[in-house]
Structure 1
């Protein structure tokens, strides 16, 4: 068996996570205050103008780790093992081609997040997530009646309700919006503006995200911090876009 033996309550997720060699990994992990792969806490910056510590504004995304969702967290179906998940995710990743994704800092409701900077990038990452969802759907347990009732109680459109019933999550396919969360929900517009300004100043120097891998994250038990379990490099063949020299990480386990 590869890696840790997770318990029956564990949830698995397929996320995009920047390479550890990329400037984006330490930038995001330091911002959130936790490296999801090593488990180490990071000293967070303090953007000028904030009256609260950044830690208080990033507690929700800190639990999930620095990532962008491709396939939302799910429990394993009957007779599905963690090795089955790893094998399926690794095979899926090796069938993908790397591409560069320009991003920008933006607000999503009361949150601050990184988002694709143009419609082409948005469509490309949506296609990747849709393909991943379809490829891994046979691994997940169907939601319990209690979980389903809880989710259906949320304010969802008819389309989102239909997607939830079929795919276990309402924000997939045409409802999918790729983002990498930079804050908890913040009622204070001034705080959102301060965080947004900090990231807009730094994002150009970091450049596009190199989408050359995905990662399996695990929530060991309900409410515990997610950990980056396995990195999954994409095919080393011909890459999309102009960045022909993007490097590929070796699969690593924690």
Structure 2
């Protein structure tokens, strides 16, 4: 069993449902969705090029997948996540847009969110004691030779290169694409998501995702609301 701590909107949020249709799977239920019919892309195009984020489920990663360290339990992790979330405040992300990351596409804020950056850093440090350190052979498979000095330091300290100062919040929509496909995917994604992205995205929870076994789809185990219950009721 592996776990990750992420942000995703609630199960019935319009953005969650639109992303579930695009990816072909709902991360909360695990249920399959039919891909949308979009000009310029076949259903096979979408299915093939969304395989990676479909398995991961729609989310923005804060603490990448980890196995539990000896002496820790899932129940302890859940209690700590509930306690931690209750001490955080809710906030609104800057408007999201479709962005290109290398040869992949994702949703990301039009301007960086300092609130999200601080939350992600706090999640990493707070839950580090629950993470089983990465074995040496797994570290080698991660190909650290291609990392910058800062990314390599993160890999050694936190088990992932893209944390802390290297963190950039995003929600993946595709796997790596062929150069010839970038233009038509970008056009289709912008046409599909832009009407939905006019609504603000409220960060009101943390989501614990689970991977039951290696290679299995990640699903939402539980949502943990930010802020104390009394404060949320009076907001």
Same fold (TM over 0.5): yes
Q: Which residue of 1 aligns with 2:81?
A: 89
Please show how residues 91-240 of structure 1 align to structure 2 within 5 Å. 91-101=83-93, 102-119=95-112, 121=113, 123-189=114-180, 191-201=181-191, 202-206=193-197, 207-235=199-227, 236=229
Distance in structure 2 (CA, Å) of the matches to 1:69 and 1:154: 23
Distance in structure 2 (CA, Å) of the matches to 1:70 and 1:237: 26
Deviation at 1:152, TM superposition (A): 4.3
Bigger drift between 230-239 and 97-106 goes to 230-239
Distance in structure 2 (CA, Å) of the matches to 1:149 and 1:56: 28
Q: Is the contact between residue 219 and residue 226 of structure 1 (CA under 8 Å) also seen in structure 2?
A: yes
Q: Is the contact between residue 11 and residue 28 of structure 2 (CA under 8 Å) also seen in structure 1?
A: no
**Equivalences, count:** 229
Bigger drift between 143-152 and 155-164 goes to 143-152
Q: Report whether the alignment pairs 1:24 with 2:4.
A: no
Distance in structure 1 (CA, Å) of the matches to 2:202 and 2:190: 18
Q: Structure 1's 154 and 216: CA in aligned 2 closer, same or farther, altered over 3 A?
A: farther
Distance in structure 2 (CA, Å) of the matches to 1:237 and 1:168: 36
Q: Is the contact between residue 97 and residue 108 of structure 2 (CA under 8 Å) also seen in structure 1?
A: yes
Q: Structure 1's 112 and 124: CA in aligned 2 closer, same or farther, altered over 3 A?
A: same
1:58-87 alpha-carbon deviations (Å, 9 max, x no partner): 001000001110100000000111111111
Structure 1 consecutive aligned stretches of length 4 or more whose deviation exceeds 3 Å: 236-239
1:4-53 alpha-carbon deviations (Å, 9 max, x no partner): xxxxxx11000111112321110111111001111110011132112543
Q: For structure 1, which runs of at least 5 residues remain unmatched after alignment?
A: 1-9, 246-254
Deviation at 1:237, TM superposition (A): 6.5
Q: Which residue of 2 aligns with 1:72?
A: 64
Distance in structure 2 (CA, Å) of the matches to 1:192 and 1:129: 30
3-state SS of paired residue (1:178): coil
Q: Is the contact between residue 15 and residue 196 of structure 2 (CA under 8 Å) also seen in structure 1?
A: no
Deviation at 1:145, TM superposition (A): 1.4
Q: Which residue of 1 aligns with 2:2?
A: 11
Deviation at 1:130, TM superposition (A): 0.4
Distance in structure 1 (CA, Å) of the matches to 2:118 and 2:204: 15
Q: Is the contact between residue 97 and residue 107 of structure 2 (CA under 8 Å) also seen in structure 1?
A: yes
Q: For structure 2, which runs of at least 5 residues remain unmatched after alignment?
A: none
Alpha-carbon RMSD: 1.9
Distance in structure 2 (CA, Å) of the matches to 1:92 and 1:151: 30
